[in-house]
Amino acid sequence: MTTQTKINVTAVVHASAEAVWKIWNTPNDIMQWNCPDLSWHCPKSENDVRVNGKFKNRMEARDGSFGFDFEGTYDEVDLYRKLSYRLADARKVTTIFTEYDGKTTVVTTFDAETENDLKMQKQGWQAILTNFSNYVESKN
């Protein structure tokens, strides 16, 4: 039996857990922050935040050279606190939102995939989370 490698990324956002949650889950907002850098974008987002609900975010290189759907199904939804889901390839992801003193720490733990280097995966997910944090703070 093989053990799935898990990777963690973290950001501290200067906003309440309620504000962070809403921006994390609203398709119009997701399309603004869900990319690792300016050479990418997220032109489409669908999100049904409930147990067994599905989400699908289209991620594309701005030059049109590559694109993919990032999609999954929610396993656990704990309002303002936790989201767990399975990706289309069966990997698991959990994001925990912890508010303290006017800030919310967002920690995402995900099963690594086997096609790309672990360091590259962590950097990509961290870059997206950093974009998220910057976007939330720009709205407050």
- Residue from 40, 45, 43, 1 nearest 26 by CA: 45
What class, spelled out in words, does domain 6-139 have in CATH? alpha beta
Mean pLDDT in residue range 98-109: 97
Q: What is the predicted pLDDT for the residue at 45?
A: 98
pLDDT single digits (tens) 66-97: 999 999 999 999 999 999 999 999 999 999 99
Q: What is the predicted pLDDT for the residue at 1?
A: 47
pLDDT single digits (tens) 1-26: 456 899 999 999 999 999 999 999 99
Mean pLDDT in residue range 16-38: 97
pLDDT single digits (tens) 53-69: 999 999 999 999 999 99
Question: What residues does each domain of the chain span?
Answer: 6-139
How far from 106 is each of 21, 29, 38, 50, 66, CA to CA, in Å?
A: 10, 17, 22, 19, 28
| 82-111 exposure pattern, b = at least 16 Cβ within 10 A, e = fewer | ebbbebeeebebbbebebeeeebebbbbbb
Indicate the helix (H) or strand (E) that contains 101.
none
Q: What is the predicted pLDDT for the residue at 2?
A: 56
3-state secondary structure string across 13-75:
ECCCHHHHHHHHHCHHHHHHHCCCCCCEEEEEEEECCCCCCEEEEEEEECCCCCEEEEEEEEE
